[in-house]
Structure 1
Amino acid sequence: MRIRIKDGLYLTMDEQNLYASGDLLIEDDRIIQVGGQAPEDWQADETISGKGKLFMPGLVNTHGHTPMSLLRGYADDLALQVWLEDHMWPMEAKYTEQDVRYGSLLSIVEMIKGGTTTFVDMYDHTEVIAAAVEESGMRAVLTRGVIGLCSKEEQQAKLQHAVNFAKEWHGKADGRITTMLSPHAPYTCPPDYIEQFVEASRDLNLPIHTHMSETIKEVEQNVKDYGARPVEHLLKLGVFDRPCLLAHAVHLTDEEISILAEYDVRVSHNPGSNLKLASGIARVPELLRAGVKVSLGTDSSASNNNLDMFEEIRLAALLHKGVTYDPTVVPALTALRMGTIAGAESIWLDEVGLLKPGCKADIIAIDIDQPHMIPHTDLVSHIVYSASQHDVTDVWVDGRQLLKNRALTTLDEEQIRWEAARCFERLNG
């Protein structure tokens, strides 16, 4: 399949050539030209007008729990542990595979319509989520999240399921699905259990994804239980000897930031969720200065309460200015990189996050002929400070169009909305 986007404006996220204009050419799942004119002998199967739109790489959401969309608004304005233990976990214990399917699909619909083309997910019933991803056409890094507060027998069963899923689904859906291993957190997985995940990660040659240092209470409990803060604790257990993506990493010392930089540990910054749960504000400027790769995640839509990556990008740019009194600390382009190319790099996807020949054709179109996007002075600024998920008109993943003129092409949105509402009614009954 050959696609030509004609007379478009492109925000490439390539530092050497940030903007381009003219034609963008796609052949099968790859971008083969960005800007300039298509060769005279190049024949497209489909030609699309690019007028009035800005084309850019799809957004990358590096931390979430997609089935939790069913619990959006169910329990708000609570501390993390109260929210989890008294409200989320009891409801999630009732989940059936049907609930996981439609919770995931509801999140996927929201993400596609909002310009997210790749997401990281940590949950159970992972095969159901993988099937939803395959059906939708999205790109995802999937993990079977494992809580180890259970018997040894149940721990081993969960670990084996995580390993089997990772082996079976890595590279599936024409390569759009990759996998990681996910012990949920240091406070939900005993040390010897985390070490088993490290060993499995080494055996499968896959990264580790875990929550860490989300709240002060969590850090204090880690010191009480294990005599070390979470960074030192995970370092001793060998987690950082493997490729590792941490969700949150809010409460860090200077020494801990240095350790993360030394071991090339990546961090998924979740500003919206961290603010709503009053978990704190991650030290993103210090992490960036130390050379830590920082990306952005929404967390679940039960703790956010949406999956709007444009909102996370804007929060990342604004929040750290406010707390440091320094308007230069996270510039707009840095925040946008966190939601695109740095996100892809944080999850070891080296062909995503850029509009560049040879890269995957994961592309979104933004309607820039709207009052809040005019005049076209600085389009990076407009994307970061003015845009929202509702400005997305078209989405392609692997060269396949998933959203066309704001309408989904691979999923039945009306049915998914109806089924998701019905699932919640049963859960809440």
Structure 2
Amino acid sequence: MSILLRGGLVIYGEGFEPVRADVLIEGDRIVRVARGISAEADEVIDASGRVIIPGLINAHTHSPMTLLRGLADDLPLMEWLQNYIWPAERKLGRREVYWGALLGLIEMAKSGTTTFVDMYFHMDAVAEAVMKVGLRAFLGYGMVDLGNEEKRKAEIRETERFMKFIEELGDRRINFILAPHAPYTCSPECLRWVAERAREGILVTIHLAETREEVKEIKERYGMTPVQLLDSLGLLTPGTIAAHGVWLDERDAKILATREVTIVHCPASNMKLASGVMPLKMLLKAGVNVALGTDGAASNNNLDMLEEMKLVALLHKVHTLDPTVADAKMVLRMATVHGARALGLKAGIIKEGYLADLAVIDFRRPHLRPLNDPVSHLVYSARGGDVEDLIVAGKIVMLDGEVLGVDEEKVLDKVENIREVVI
């Protein structure tokens, strides 16, 4: 299949330079970016008055947690998890997870996300939702053994089952990722098993150093920081994607940079749960690859990566009292290039030879005019509802604001029924 995006303002190349051009897609790749492309295409999209951007990469979320949006707000993390979220999650079966994931995927598509990293349970249901919507996904079963040997064996069995399930799907957009929940919920034995499997070239996602209390607990239990613990277990590699990284010191940063670990910044969730402020400036200076994620809708409370970019830029400016920290292009790189690097994708850039993962944003709106700086507008002014079209792996997922693979009204009705019966 071929697609021609005609007459848009393209955020082009590694430097994110605004260029008036057409974009020709063949198969799952961008094959040409130039003015006045005359080639025939199966689909032609008029992008005049629009800005074409690389698809955003949500490097950490829990898509089915849309069901828990607004359930228990304004609480500390552990109280929120133990007293409200975990009890509610025990009521969720495969059916509920499927509909919650569908809602989350629709929301992500409408805010320009083409790729996401997900950790939850009943993940085969999430994979089914991904196939229906058409996003690119890295899916992992969230392992939690709490030091219990029988529980650990069960978690390993489920992880291996799900890995085989993904392999048998044979869909290049749906990928398996190992997903131990966190150092405080997974035993060293569990984490060592994950490290052994990771040596086979499998990516890993994990929560890391999210709260001060977590770091204190790990230090008391093991005599080292969470970063040092994972390093001692062989779990820090270029294929490790660690979410949050709020409570890190310079020694931790040096280890993460040396091991080429990616840290996923989730500013909205960290602020809402009062977890703290990730030391972005320190991590970037150390050479750590920092990507961007929303976390789940229960702690955000949305999956809008455009909003998340604005929050990153504003948070670190006021936190450091330095307006030059987290400039617009750097933040856009976090949401695109850095996520692609973490996942081993040739994506995050609009350029010949790269994956055709693109979003088309309508800039004919009052809050996006005048067009002084398109990249600045993306970070500081745009919002999810501005996205008109979405292309993933060379296939149109959303056209004129409508996600093509699903009945949105049906999904909205289903999740409301779930709320009334289960939540």
8 Å contact from structure 1 (residues 13, 353) kept in 2: no
Of the structure 1 ranges 398-407 and 114-123, higher mean CA displacement relative to structure 2 is found in 398-407
Farther off after superposition, 193-202 or 321-330:
193-202
Matches for 1:350-369 after TM superposition, within 5 Å? 351-369=346-364
Matches within 5 A, 1:8-407: 8-15=8-15, 18-38=17-37, 40=38, 42-149=39-146, 151-170=148-167, 172=169, 174-202=171-199, 204-241=200-237, 243-349=239-345, 351-407=346-402
Distance 1:288 1:146, change over 3 A: same
Q: Partners of 2:368 and 2:167 in 1: how far apart? A: 40
Maintained 8 Å contact 2:201/2:239: no
Provide the C-alpha distance between the structure 2 equivalents of 1:241 and 1:150, rounded to a whole number of angstroms: 24
Which whole-Å CA distance do the structure 1 matches of 2:214 and 2:170 have between them? Answer: 37
| Alpha-carbon displacement from aligned partner over 1:212-242 (angstroms, at most 9, x marks no partner) | 1000000001111111111111111111146
Change (3 A) 1:171 1:380: farther
Deviations 1:253-275 (A, max 9, x none): 11111110011010000000000
Q: 1:421 aligns with which of 413, 416, 421?
A: 416
Local SS of the residue matching 2:385: helix
Which residue identity is paired with 1:83? W
Deviation per CA, 1:140-174: give whole Å up to 9, x if none: 11111111126322211211211232243159453
For residues 137 and 336 of structure 1, the distance between their equivalents in structure 2, rounded to whole angstroms, comes to 23
Contact kept, 8 Å, 2:238 with 2:260, in 1: the verdict is no
1:402 deviation in Å?
A: 1.3
Whether the 8 Å contact between 1:29 and 1:360 is mirrored in structure 2 is yes
Q: Which amino acid aligns with 2:361?
A: I
| C-alpha distance in 2 between matches for 1:207 and 1:70 | 27
The CA deviation at 1:346 is 1.7
Deviates more, 1:219-228 or 1:26-35: 26-35
Quote the residue 1:408 is aligned against. Answer: 403
RMSD, matched Cα: 1.4
Matching residue's letter, 1:339: A
- Take 1:48 and 1:90, find their aligned partners in 2: how far apart are those partners? 46
Task: Give me the whole-angstrom Cα distance separating, in 1, the residues matched to 2:181 and 2:91.
Answer: 19
SS in 1 for 2:339: helix
| 1:380–1:239 distance in 2 versus 1, CA, 3 Å | same
Q: Is the 8 A contact 1:201 1:242 kept in 2?
A: no
After TM superposition, give the deviation of residue 182 of structure 1 in Å: 1.2
Deviation at 1:19, TM superposition (A): 2.6
**C-alpha distance in structure 1 between counterparts of 2:204 and 2:9, whole Å:** 38
Matches of 2:422 and 2:389, distance apart in 1: 34
Give 5+ residue unaligned stretches, structure 1: none
Would you say the 8 A contact 1:144–1:162 is kept in 2? yes
Secondary structure at 2:177 match in 1 = strand
Q: Name the CA shift for 1:282/1:13 in 2 (closer, same or farther; >3 Å).
A: farther
Distance 2:233 2:331 in 1: 32
Partner of 1:62, secondary structure, is strand
- Give the number of aligned pairs: 423
Per-residue CA deviations over 1:374-413 (Å, capped at 9, x if unaligned) read 1111111111111111111111111211111111211110
The 1:44–1:309 alpha-carbon spacing in structure 2 relative to 1, beyond 3 Å, is: same
Q: Which amino acid aligns with 1:407?
A: E
TM-score (norm 1): 0.96
Give the Cα separation in 2 of the matches to 1:334 and 1:171: 38
Deviation at 1:4, TM superposition (A): 1.4
Q: Does the 8 A contact of 2:8 with 2:52 survive in 1?
A: yes
